[in-house]
Amino acid sequence: MTASASTPNRPTPNSLLALAFPADPQISPDGQRVAFVLSRIEEEDPLKPDAAFARPRYKSHIWLSDGGSARAFTAGEGRDTSPRWSPDGTHLAFVRDAGGAGGQLYVLPLAGGEARRVTTLKHAVQNVQWSPDGRFLSFLSLGDDEDRRDERGEPRVITAPRYRFNGEDWLPVRPARMWRLDVASGALTEWHAPAVAISAYAWRPDSQGVLFVSAQDDLRAAYWQQEVWDLPLDGAPAQRTRWNSAITAVVPHPDGERFALVGRPDGQGNTEHTHLYLVGADGDATRLDAGHDHPVGNAVGGDCHVGAMPERPVWLDDTTLLFSSTVRGSCGLFRATVDGTVTPHDHRPDGVIAAFTAVPGGVALLRERADVFPEVELNGVAVTDLNARLPFPARAPQRVTFPTPLGEGEGWVLLPEGDGAVPALLNIHGGPHTDYGHAFTHEFQLLAAQGYGVCYSNPRGSVGYGQAWVDAIHGCWGSVDADDLLAFFDACLDRVPRLDRERTAVMGGSYGGFMTNWLTAHTTRFHAAITDRSICNLLSFAGTSDIGLRFWHDELGLNAWRRADTPALWDMSPLQYVENVRTPTLIVHSALDHRCPVEQAEQWYAALVQLGVPTRFVRFPGENHELSRSGRPDRRIRRLQETLDWLDRWLGTAPTAS
């Protein structure tokens, strides 16, 4: 790593090493305690340090609080994750990954004693849940399956529509099975072997089975055409819906007959908000959030979320569901009743609740602000003080608005200390249907502390501003969204005198990388560009991305395998206009990114090299689409240093006045 030396109150990329990341807050059954995961960055093997090749890694342990300051509950060199309370609150199940063997299930008594390992499978245990009566622990796992084809040099024979997936690389020959552990006897049963992967599940309140989300076949799965199934303790699963669309969560109703689900209705594309529905015993669905023009779940981007971020809705009683929702640049908790009334429960317009779990008597959550690091709260009281660990003072952004035909748009500018002129960076979020706003972003704080003005906004296509705002870019990437981004940037330059319009850069990741490529191919106003995990060719993306089979149809109403549609897809491809690029460009991509495959970066790099545009291509091994948010710490640090070096080379930073 080549990070420069630290100076007081001026962070470098190495400041990432000082942070501790909370995740997976789990409320106890009585609502009075919280268990959560805290991940720190430490040397991979502290007994064998190698000064010439430092390899920091995340080390995760379970922490507990009963309302006071949290304390460590597990220790050791492995990674402890997925804390799950037994229904009577006397035991905690968790997953421990020690020695690289894959996470195995352990049970630890709260009153004291040693953790007891209860699985010895060759593959990791995931999505652990207790049955409501405490009799069973269920989970998903590949069990003892082995796939040694690569090791043996054997070919892979591919017949499934999807065969690679971001974060997993090669998909297994058969998907993870549902397992059931009898806690008292220790008997482990392979409960259900689905033909198609299970993406979510939840126990029925009578403990006689689970509801799970899957698809009828692999092709429907590739098109996100999912259904809810009822799996009894004994017997075959029965399909409960004719949904034929994306479902992200299922929540059984206390009556045992009905259930809530989070998803999109059949026939709606990728621009449609995720909604909250109540499904009756007859399969009929009623939307519960019809008067709430915002998506269910948190879509506000940040880079300090390492680990699970639970946000499945929770029944508080027979008539009321608690759920999270993104509203403008914030995310809060709301209540939805079975009659369709939505009211705020815990929503702060200047903050983000990134994760939560709840019972009728309590709520555990992660809360953050743009200038406050994520903290764990139990019933409204912070039980961590992680913000105090920041190795630099966090800065608060100022809001900047811009006009659009749909009303006022908004964004923010994060400035360094002082009053001197600073280079202006236009940073573009991914998605495109995500959101910038009030989440803590280490990268933005780092850029500002290094002397840059960071400008970030939510152009049309972003979520949190109503369905019409999202729909505005359906079928027309690179149009009104580009207009909004430039209008916002001009507003920043006009209203924030410290921003130097003679030293500007554009940067972004995923869709933000697409838009960086698009803007540099359509304007020469920027003096530098950084395109991260980007898209440049919509046609090749369709055949190489893990979501390529369905994405352009859902997102743009176009099909890459329909000749009549290919001209429109090519017209929206930055590569068609690459000969116009003059902006020095840093390209950052990960070799195992299957969401925006690395071939996109390779095409953009080849074109810029042939055109003589100053270009640097940084290609990370072993990382996927999530490098900037949860990648290996040393690689995250290197990425940040490459960013700073490129900006310094082409923009320079003037000393800020004290």
Q: Who's near 112: CB < 8 A, 6+ residues apart?
A: none
Considering the candidates 123, 462, 625, 630, report the single residue annotated as catalytic: 625
Largest CA distance in the chain: 72
- Cα separation, 52 vs 68, in Å, equals 42
Query: Which residues contact residue 236 at a Cβ distance below 8 angstroms, ignoring those fewer than 6 apart?
Result: none
Both tokens of 259, joined, read: 């259930």
Chain-centre distance of CA 59, in angstroms? Answer: 20
Q: Contact at 8 Å (CB) between 601 and 589?
A: yes
Nearest to 24 by CA among 50, 57, 62, 58: 62
Rounded to 5 degrees, what are φ and ψ at 599?
Answer: -60, -25
Look up 625 and say whether it is catalytic: yes
Under 8 Å between Cβ of 261 and 228: yes
287 in Cβ contact with 305 (< 8 Å) = no
Tokens of 268: 């709606």
Contacts of 535 (CB under 8 A, 6+ apart): 510, 511, 513, 514, 517, 541, 574, 596, 600
Contact 138, 200 (CB under 8 A): no
Residues 6 or more apart whose Cβ sits within 8 Å of residue 265: 243, 245, 272, 275, 285
Q: State the Cα angle at 351 between 66 and 492, rounded to 5°.
A: 155
List of residues 6+ apart from 1 with CB closer than 8 A? 13, 14, 54, 634, 637, 638, 641
Beta carbons of 241 and 227 less than 8 angstroms apart: yes
Pairing of strands 56-65, 71-72: antiparallel
Q: Where are the beta strands (DSSP E) in 124-171?
A: 126-130, 136-141, 164-165, 169-170
- State the catalytic residue, choosing from 60, 86, 510, 540: 510
Q: Which of 83, 20, 59, 70 is nearest to 377 (CA)?
A: 70
Cβ pair 526, 424 in contact under 8 A: no
Residue positions annotated with a catalytic role: 510, 625
